[in-house]
A and B are shown apart, each in its own frame.
Chain A
Amino acid sequence: MKKLSLVLVTSAVLMATGCTHHYVIDATSCSFKENAPKNNISVGLILSEELKTAGWQKEFMGDHFVMDLGDQFAEVSRCVAKVAFASVLEASNKPGIQGQVDAYLIAKVSKISRTMGATAFGRSDLSVVFEWRFEDKDGKLIWVDTIHAKGTSATGNIFSHKKEAKKQGQMMMEDLMNQSHHAISNAVEIKRFVASVK
């Protein structure tokens, strides 16, 4: 009887307090699928605090699910900028590097969303709407593009949901990296600007 009470009380406490599940995403293994020549100018890569702290979270049946993505977005942005431009100076805002660069490359997370399947086998999509802006040193907008990057996996059960989320996160980061690189290296407007700086 005592044991049963203990089990019941413990279960009630656990149900009332809920758990926090952290999904850890690692974009360091991402790689570029295309090669493109670098643009021979120096850019200031602007990564705001908002971008660095971006993430996804959800409350569901008393549990708290958290996916911190900001550091990985920053890492992907650095990789893309370094592959696309000859010289990259990073800052959290434009005044910090004013006068030291030819142009600014601004990364912005517009929206992160994640769907959950109706069952553990159901499809789950993690997606980000990511905006890139390229401005000259006076702040005039030269080029803007929005990337929809996505990672898909099964929702996963109580034992596999973290593994599935990790897989999905990495897939999204790789997609973001490659789509961003493709967009920047094929932008006619950036090429024109680079030619005018030379």
Chain B
Amino acid sequence: MTAHDPVITELAEANPVSGETSSDPGDRAEAERIMRRVLAGDQGPPPQRWRRSGLLAPVVSVVVVLAVAAVLLRTGGSSHGSPSSGGSPTITLVAEPTSQTPRITSSALTRELSLVRQRLATVNRHFSVTRGRGNSLVITVPGASAAQRARLLALVTQTAQLTMYDWEANVVAPNGRTVAQDLRTQSPAVIALSQGANRGAGQSGAGSLPLYDAVKLAAKQPPRALSPSMARMGPEYYMFGAPSSPACAAAAAAAHTAPVPGTHCLLAGPLDLPGHISRQRALQAFATQLSAGVSAAAGQVLAVPQGTRVLQALAPEQVDAASPAAQFFVLRDDVALNGHDIVSPRRTADASGQSAVSFGLTAAGERLFQAATRAVARRGDEASTLGETLDQHFAIVLDSRLLTVPSIDFKQYPDGIQTTQADIAGGFTRQSAGDLATQLRYGALPLALRVVR
């Protein structure tokens, strides 16, 4: 009665802890400690942590509650802090080479300037950008609020590589196979990833994973030979700290946050390093990224091989990728279309007047789009059985973040979508449709930008 019950299925997908045997050294040490504690005799001292001193415990509790009350009183019971003042009217950024543009040239800087100017205009028309000394750009933001400054910094520091994937053909299930490979099994994990578990495909909670689990799954994928359809070249390295480890505590302190109990923390990365390197070499490369007080030796290094990507899930509210609340999917890196295949994205309205996003396709993009959507539609037709429709999806990705994962109606488009202009509709507000159109318009910045002042 329960195998396909939607409530049970959705709860199972939100299961925060795997019950599988852990290979983490910290977890295994804990298991051995517990075994020794039990076998050493049950007359030993009471456990320290939860049989705390009867005298001290209330004192600690009272201090904690008073601190919480003080915070709540200061914020008026709201979790949102008050906005701070705008700060300096200029922001200086320095351009750095990327894998796409390994040398900083005058023409690359000119294109960078033009794209940054376009992006700034989406925040405030009065913001401007000029070339500074050397390879720097100076942005002038008169009267900008802290929120506006944060938004524009997020905008201009994204190199913005726009890619599109056949979702089910690339998203990887916990067993390491793609959803498309196992669609016939209709296992709960596969159905959650494909049909989105009451939320929508690609959404946080619809089969998504915390970063550590996603990177661990991705790291088990075999490396694939470089091909033109890949968005990334070479492996990508991450360094994690063990749950409740001193390294996680030190990293959290450096970031002015609190470590999240029971979860691995990201100490450094992701880092692109050429080819396969030794653990020692990876540790050396990470050393410059580590927070003060964190030793490289304390970290667990995981490498996501070429041909696999870890992408941040969609969420009702944007979550920073470094936040413990962020969720991720693992995808094979077989890109169907790139940002340069689409033109003139804009907010529009569908037939019922609801906000939507429309974009045109180049001649090459038109062919690629039809081929990709044909594969998606045919799989949807094959997977759907009488009375049950399993629509398949197309994912649009900006850098390492999913932007939207729309479905394709295989009954309407059995041979894919042949068009010069595509529309994405459903579930958009005026604001979210405008934001998506802006993100599609970004175009890839040729150079990376780092804030220096």
Q: Do chains A and B stick together as partners?
A: no
Residues of A within 8 A of B (CB): none
